[in-house]
Structure 1
Amino acid sequence: MRPAFLYVGSRRKGPSSWSPPPAGGFGIGIHRFDCETGTVTAVGRVAPELSVGYLLHDARRSVLYALHEAMTLPDRKRGGGGMIAAFRVDPETGALTEISRSPSFGTLPCHATLDAEGRHLLVVHHTGHTPVTRTRKTAQGYEIVLEYDEAATVMFPLDNAGRIQPPCHVRSHDGRGALPDQTHSQLHCIRHLPGTELFAVCDKGGDRVTLLRQARETLHPVRDIPAPPGSSPRSCLTHPRLPVLYANFETAPLLHAYRWSADGEMQRIAAIAPWAPCAGPQPALMPSDMAISADGSRLYLLLRGPEALTTCLLHPDGRPEPIDTRPLHVENPRAVALSPDGAHLLVAAVVSQEVAVWPLNKDGLPVGEGRRQPCAHAGCMAFA
């Protein structure tokens, strides 16, 4: 059996700022993963100057894409946004060789996906919270205008080797939510809906999930699915066998499930609070990442604040039912993943700087206290 390699992105935690890029200790950690025992062994690190907010593996080309979640390009004093770096993966050693690097054409790029043919990489931007102050003269006199960084979905063509080409389309989003921090669109996740040309985009700032349709090298808006006011849609993922999309919300204890059609219709089939309180005082709840089993029977959700994991049973029609919530004993769990064989669950924690690994029992629930591997600023993961 070919060895499994786990790539862990090290991400700088903190408010959006103009601070300089990290001097080192960040980048992508390369680890060998033992599928039998769940042991994670560090074997190397690349691009330590990058604050990696998301990793995407292109299995067709054996390329790993890393998003540098930043507001300032290296050749700028301030401004210019983040970057994308592409690395060729050596399937035998796990080594990464950089093959291209490009500006992301926005600030704080935080999620990416490939289109159905693997010909384009689509990147969404969270953007910062610092506005530019301008004035505008109206019939009633002068008024103050606050302008924020453009929240955009950017589509990049890829060449045959997976190198990033100049963008072919930039789709700007313009929304505002009910909370004081929801001053403008803040995109946090993009997913391709299998079997269609559709993409779902979670807009935290706009309290909506936006559907886009790809037509060659252009993205067209299809519809917005409103979210509860002040809920901040954060992450979404698709069922492996059913046309069902799951979305969670950063500032509301909700999980929604939608059934989609190829023409872009979205029918909500479930809206639940998918967790029970853990023991002790209850801190503020901020759901983060999700993962789904390959057979579509279990959905796993990370809960920041309680620092916990909720497991949901997925019924034959895709409806989720929470069956277990347990503490993780990590700080700031930001990413969850399943091992390639589905036998282990992994959690990356930024503040406690570790990757924790649990075996899963026959019911799909984690077993024991978990095996801990120190990992600098662990914020995202990808297997290859």
Structure 2
Amino acid sequence: MAELLLALGTLNREAPYFQGARGDGLSVWGFDEEALTFRRLAQYPQVENPTFLSITPDGRRIYANSEVADWKEGLVTAFAFDPPTGRLDYLNTQPTLGSIAAHNMISRDGRRLFVANYTVGSGGPDQSFVVYDLRADGALSPAVASVAHQGSGPNPDRQERSHAHSATEVIGGGRVIVADLGTDRLVTYAIGPDGAPSRLAESPTAPGAGPRHVALHPGGRLVFVINELDSTVTAFALDPVGGGLTALDHQPALPPGAADSHCSDLQISPDGRFLYAGNRGHDSIAVFAVEEDGRLTPQGHTPCGGRTPRNLALTPSGRHLLVANQNSDRVTVLARDAATGALTDTGAALEIGTPMCVKFAAG
């Protein structure tokens, strides 16, 4: 069985809201899903704080956000990776037009990159959602369009202003859902032929929920959102034309009595039957079964194998879930039962400083 390609971003520059920076930037690994072993293929330490990544299905292009706390603008950098030789080459860098670049996604047609800026304070371009064209060689164009969000939420410490946290294109393409943690809103944009976003709909979450990341059901009709501030997961029905989202269910990601925890990432199994939600603080993965009507049935919690599970990645087969445990310098490999959704720690792990983001190439 061929190795899977895995792009990994680690923290290599201190930030006041992270607990240390012990990483070595961007690296590419081969992961043997049978032996559960990792093999380093390439490394690029010069990119600063690649806290979120996207990788093309063939593994030949990687796009890394640089999140540096005292910059008025983040950066997004394009890389070319050659799987046969293991060569990782810098292509170019563009400013993200806003501070704290939090998330990016390659469009489903491979023509564009979408970036969400969390944005803090004031000054600078202060844009929430930014669109780039991808050139023939994989390099990034300057930003072709951007929008700024306004508003706030009831949590004065975390929702004093808009904080866009992710930008996710829906299964059918052409529509992007931006989760805004600061305003408790999911904003759906239509992407025009020139890349310009036009606002289609705004859908509220619970007040103070703080929507962070989005997972899409493969059938295209359901959207799931993990809420960082109140540690919940919400299921929505998507209007494919108008872009609006109708809440179907809302479940806690923590067990009763758990405290001092904030949700992080959300992943859905390839068959759409199970959701996996990261809990930072409780240091667990919450498992939910997805019912036919979109409602969620809690299936319990599995220890994440470390501390502060910031990011999750399912292998393309769905057989394993990798967990980037930020504060224990460890990427843990959990086995997944396809029939029950249950997770089991395999004991296999990659020991690496401050892992922030893990992404598999789909091929």
TM-score above 0.5, yes or no: yes
Confirm or deny: 8 A CA contact 1:63 1:86 kept in the other structure. yes
Larger Rg: 1
Q: 1:42 is matched by which residue type in structure 2?
A: R
Q: Is the 8 A contact 2:333 2:345 kept in 1?
A: no
AA aligned opposite 1:294: P
Query: Which residue does 2:179 correspond to in 1?
Result: 202
Once superposed, what is the RMSD of the aligned Cα atoms? 2.3
Match for residue 144 of structure 1?
Answer: none
**Superposition map of 1:171-250 within 5 A:** 171-181=147-157, 182-216=159-193, 217-250=195-228
User: Is the CA contact 1:35–1:341 (under 8 Å) kept in the aligned structure 2?
Assistant: no
Distance of aligned partners of 1:25 and 1:195 in 2 relative to their CA distance in 1, 3 Å threshold? closer
Letter in 2 for 1:214: I
Name the CA distance, whole Å, in 2 between partners of 1:116 and 1:7.
Answer: 19
The residue that corresponds to 1:141 in the other structure is none
One-letter code of the match for 1:56?
S
**CA 191–49 in structure 1, closer or farther in 2 if over 3 Å, else same:** closer
The 5 A counterparts of 1:31-46 are 31-46=29-44
Mapped partners of 1:346, 1:269: distance in 2: 28
1:92 match: 84
In structure 1, the gaps of 5 or more residues are 73-78, 133-147
Quick one: which of 244, 248, 265 aligns to 1:265?
244
Supply the AA of the counterpart residue of 2:251. I
Between 267-276 and 201-210, report the one with greater CA deviation. Answer: 267-276
TM-superposed CA distance for 1:26, in Å, is 2.9
SS of residue paired to 1:225: strand
In structure 2, the residue matched to 1:126 is 118
Q: Distance in 1 between matches of 2:113 and 2:334?
A: 32
Matched, 1:276 2:277: no
Distance 1:329 1:105, change over 3 A: same
- Kept in 1: contact 2:188–2:199 (CA 8 A): yes
Q: CA deviation at 1:209?
A: 1.0
| Partner residue in 2 for 1:26 | 24
CA distance in 1, matches of 2:270, 2:208: 32
2:74 aligned residue: 82
Pairing 1:333-372 to 2, within 5 Å after superposition: 333-362=309-338, 363-368=340-345, 370-372=347-349
Q: What aligned pairs does 1:49-60 form with structure 2 within 5 A after superposition?
A: 49-59=47-57
Deviation at 1:158, TM superposition (A): 1.2
CA shift, 1:32, in A, is: 1.8
Distance, in Å, in 2 between the alignment partners of 1:196 and 1:242 is: 10
Q: What residue identity is the alignment partner of 2:3?
A: P
Matched residue, 1:101: 93
Q: Aligned equivalents of 1:36 and 1:342: distance in 2?
A: 13
> What is the number of equivalent residue pairs in this alignment?
354
The 8 Å contact of residues 13 and 350 in structure 1, kept in 2 or not, is answered as no
Tell me how far apart the structure 2 counterparts of residues 94 and 244 of structure 1 sit (CA, whole Å): 38
Confirm or deny: 8 A CA contact 1:71 1:81 kept in the other structure.
Answer: no
Percent identity, aligned pairs only?
27
- Residues 28-68 of structure 1, C-alpha deviation per residue, up to 9 Å, x if partnerless? 12222011122223344213441011110122682111111
Kindly provide the amino acid, as one letter, of the partner of residue 75 in structure 2: M
Q: Identify if the C-alpha distance between structure 1 residues 333 and 218 changes in structure 2 by more than 3 Å, giving closer, same or farther.
A: same
TM-score (norm 1): 0.86
Cα offsets for 1:217-245 (capped at 9, x unmatched): 21111121112222111111111123111
Give the letter aligned to residue 177 of structure 2. A
Q: Quick one: which amino acid aligns to residue 32 of structure 2? A: D
CA contact (8 A) 2:226 2:233 kept: yes
Q: In 2, Cα distance between the equivalents of 1:186 and 1:99?
A: 29
Among 154, 163, 178, the residue aligned to 2:139: 163
**1:38/1:358 contact within 8 Å kept:** no
User: Given the two structures, how large is their TM-score scaled by the length of structure 2?
Assistant: 0.90
User: Residues 329 and 158 (structure 1 numbering): CA distance in 2 closer, same or farther, change over 3 Å?
Assistant: closer
Distance 1:272 1:44 in 2: 40
CA displacement at 1:196 relative to structure 2:
4.4
Distance in 2 of aligned mates of 1:59 and 1:189 = 20
> What is the match of residue 311 of structure 1?
287
For residues 220 and 155 of structure 1, the distance between their equivalents in structure 2, rounded to whole angstroms, comes to 12
SS class of match (1:367)? strand
Inter-partner Cα distance in structure 2 for 1:270 and 1:255: 8
The runs of 5 or more residues in structure 2 that have no matched partner are none
**Residues 369 and 36 from structure 1, CA distance in 2 versus in 1: closer, same or farther, beyond 3 angstroms?**
closer
Match of 2:304 in 1: 328
Counterpart residue identity of residue 52, structure 1: P
Aligned match of 2:278: 302
Separation in 2, partners of 1:116, 1:327: 33
- How far does residue 368 in structure 1 lie from its aligned partner after superposition? 3.7
Is 170-179 or 61-70 further displaced after alignment?
Answer: 61-70
Q: Is residue 354–residue 375 contact of structure 1 (8 Å, CA) maintained in 2?
A: yes
